[in-house]
Structure 1
Amino acid sequence: MRLKTVLLIEDEKPNADRLKRLLHHVCPNVDIVATEESIAASVTWLKNNVQPDLILMDIRLSDGLCFEIFNLVEVTAPIIFTTAYDEYTLKAFKYNSIDYLLKPIKQDELTAALQRYEDMFPHAALTQTTLENLAELLSPKGYRKRFLLPFRDGYKTLLTSDIHYFYSEWGNTKAFLKNNQVELISQTLEELEKQLNPQEFYRANRQYLIHIDAVKSIFNHFNGKLKVELKGQSEAEVLISREKSTAFKSWMDY
């Protein structure tokens, strides 16, 4: 596995020791950079160190629930949540989670979770400089704001702000609008993906390119996929693949 660095956040030493053994069995060369036992210690570590490739995070810590960490420091690393309780599944889903493991954690379950990490992050973790450069490239400069569409004997303007989502149907690209109307668009989804602001529009799959404000509900689906319900009378449902689920949640939570 390409996984290099892991931060453990676990307040019970027996559980921490067990996780270390399991990790080193699956990834013999992994560097467990630290083991923190509380919200306060975890925040201090994250503020003063380069974020690891992956965090294994217990939900109930000695000074509260781990979710408080996200209110006190920016966490960019993907996370595998570990807990003895299943009541926090939906809340954990909001963050950079790639899996949710119930204690006692079994080796095959951890192996599967780490393989999911490998599938989602095939390259080394991005440095902060790279992330900043990427953010600059994705800044909303020069992105398409409108379309000029044929209308009767002339043309009309369609603003991107009036569009809920684009979809492909029988070789045509269509825009579903906030007023529930549909317009035919000459560009392909691949072309639109390059022309539109990625902070506003996300390529969910081969068929849909959706606006962030069009998302009505998000549900866990089987095999790690997500099911997204879109606003409007169409009641469209969009599936997000397991490989794209973490990126989609990060896009929604930005």
Structure 2
Amino acid sequence: MKILIIEDEQRNANRLQSLLLEINPDIVVVDILESVSDSVEWFAANDEPDLILMDVRLADGLCFEIFSVCTLTAPVIFTTAYDEYAIRAFKVNSIDYLLKPIDKVELASALDKYKQFSSQNQTGAMISSLVDIIKKPGAVYRSRFLIPIHDGYKTIIVQDISYIYSEFKVSHLVLASGEIQAILFTMDELEEQLNPDLFFRANRQHLISINSIKSIHNYFNGKLKVILNGLEDVEIYISREKATLFKQWLDR
């Protein structure tokens, strides 16, 4: 069995590889990838493996961005920490989802389960259904933030946010009015809480709203430069590797 591991933490990737070989020495790990962009390039150049072990949160974004660019038919075991509702959704759709740290017995059980999926069309349909569940709009995504101020609180509506940036490990909401508000969430947490149809993780420091984009320009080495409405002095750069994902996001 040929297995591809997509995991951005080297320790976790090594552990997965060791557990797989302990369970079945005949397993071949064809590659270990750590990002969305690496995965997109890999699938464009290689045949699909028999099975994919995929972490939800990767170095440059959520793994679901891969499915926006690539049409995958191989079975997938998703790994990471996530809410119980999502885990139940995976189970109902017969797609396994393993919580870290990965347990050897549970991994072996998942491998046995995936031996049942001989129909690529069936597998592809289940993956598509799974992605729809995880990205389902509604109460899953934030519509506002409650911010403590002095002796009270104020509300910031998500639609009023132009972009979010991180500086010295502190996240800041930048509103269309120009107001800047520090917030006690990491960029990874904010990316997970905001609707991916409306916000794009441009890089590690920036999340941008689709409604705030004024213009997009080609930049050096295949990069893109994004200018925002009313914030012309702010330039946000998107790497060559992530430029394709960004264009796909804009063209939905």
TM-score by length of 2: 0.51
Aligned pair 1:224/2:222, yes or no? yes
- The 3-state SS of whatever aligns with 1:199 is coil
Distance of 1:126 and 1:244 partners within structure 2: 19
CA distance in 1, matches of 2:238, 2:153: 35
- State the structure with more CA Rg: 1
> Equivalent of 2:72, from 126, 143, 150?
126
Aligned-pair CA distance for 1:183: 0.9
| Runs of 4 or more consecutive aligned structure 1 residues displaced over 4 Å after TM superposition | none
**Structure 2 equivalent of residue 200 of structure 1:** 198
Structure 1 residues 156 and 250 mapped into 2: Cα distance closer, same or farther (>3 Å)?
Answer: same
Secondary structure of the equivalent of 1:249? Answer: helix
Cα offset for 1:216?
A: 0.9
CA contact (8 A) 1:228 1:239 kept: yes
Aligned to 2:210: 212
CA distance in structure 1 between the aligned counterparts of 2:207 and 2:38, rounded to whole angstroms = 26
- C-alpha distance in 2 between matches for 1:214 and 1:121: 29
Name the counterpart of 1:137. 134
Counterpart Cα distance in 2 of 1:167 and 1:197: 17
What's the offset of the Cα at 1:166? 0.4
* 1:167 aligned partner, one-letter code: Y
Counterpart amino acid of 1:153? D
SS at match of 1:205: coil
Task: Name the SS for the 1:157 alignment partner.
Answer: strand
Q: Which runs of 5+ in 2 are unaligned?
A: 1-36, 49-70, 74-123
**Are the aligned partners of 1:229 and 1:237 in contact in 2 as well (CA < 8 Å)?**
yes
Query: Is 2:176 aligned against 1:178?
Result: yes
The answer to whether the 8 A contact 1:176-1:182 is kept is: yes
Shift of 1:118: 7.3
Deviation at 1:132, TM superposition (A): 4.8
The DSSP-based 3-state class of the residue aligned with 2:233 is coil
Contact 1:119-1:243 within 8 A present in 2 as well: no
Measured in 2, the distance between the counterparts of 1:175 and 1:157 equals 12
**1:252 equivalent in structure 2:** 250
Q: 2-side partners of 1:185 and 1:178: how far apart?
A: 16
TM superposition shift of 1:119: 6.8
2:230 alignment partner, SS class: coil
Q: Give 1:78's aligned residue.
A: none
Task: State the alpha-carbon separation in 1 of the partners of residues 216 and 162 from structure 2.
Answer: 16
Calculate the TM-score normalised by the size of structure 1.
0.50
Does residue 155 in structure 1 map to residue 164 in structure 2?
A: no
Q: Which digits, 9 at most, give the CA deviation of each residue in 1:97-121, with x for residues without a partner?
A: xxxxxxxxxxxxxxxxxxxx97743
Aligned length: 138
Could you give the per-residue CA deviations for residues 57-94 of structure 1, whole angstroms, max 9, x where no partner exists?
xxxxxxxxxxxxxxxxxxxxxxxxxxxxxxxxxxxxxx
Residue 23 of structure 1 corresponds to which residue in structure 2? none
8 Å contact kept, 1:164–1:177: yes
Residue 234 (structure 1) shift:
5.7
Q: Who is 1:240 aligned against?
A: 238
* Offset, 1:225: 1.1
Distance in 1 between the 2:129 and 2:225 partners? 30
Give the C-alpha shift of residue 231 in structure 1: 1.7
Q: Match of 1:122, SS?
A: helix
* Matched residue SS, 2:177: coil
CA contact (8 A) 1:226 1:245 kept: yes
